[in-house]
Amino acid sequence: MEIPRREAMGGARAQIQVISALFMREMLTRFGTSRIGYVWLMAEPMILGTMISLLHSLSGKDLPNGLPTFLFYALGYTPFLMFRSIVNRGSGAVTNNISLLFHNRITLLDTMIARNLMEMLVCFTVCLLFIVMGMVVFHEVPHQPALLLAGWFMSALLAHGLAMVIGSAQVMMEWVEHLVHPFTYLLLPISAPFYMLDMLPQGTREALLWNPLVSIHELNRWAMFGDRINPYYDIPYVLAWILGLNLLGMAGLRVARPRLSLSD
Mean pLDDT calculated for residue range 38-56: 70
In-domain check, residue 169: yes
Q: For residue range 141-182, list pLDDT tens digits in order.
A: 999 999 999 999 999 999 999 999 998 888 888 788 888 889
In-domain check, residue 31: yes
Residue 245: which domain range? 12-259
In-domain check, residue 33: yes
In-domain check, residue 118: yes
The pLDDT, as a whole number, for residue 101 is 65
**CA-derived radius of gyration, the chain:** 20
DSSP code of residue 2: B
Q: For residue range 196-250, list pLDDT tens digits in order.
A: 999 899 999 999 999 999 999 999 999 999 999 999 999 999 999 999 999 999 9
In-domain check, residue 4: no
In-domain check, residue 52: yes
- What is the rounded CA–CA span in Å between residue 182 and residue 175? 13
Q: Helix, strand, or coil here: 60? A: coil
The pLDDT, as a whole number, for residue 118 is 85
Nearest to 256 by CA among 174, 164, 171, 161: 171
In-domain check, residue 67: yes
Instruction: Name the residue with higher pLDDT: 109 or 11.
Output: 109
In-domain check, residue 5: no
Q: Helix, strand, or coil here: 4? A: coil
Q: How many domains does the structure of the chain reveal?
A: 1
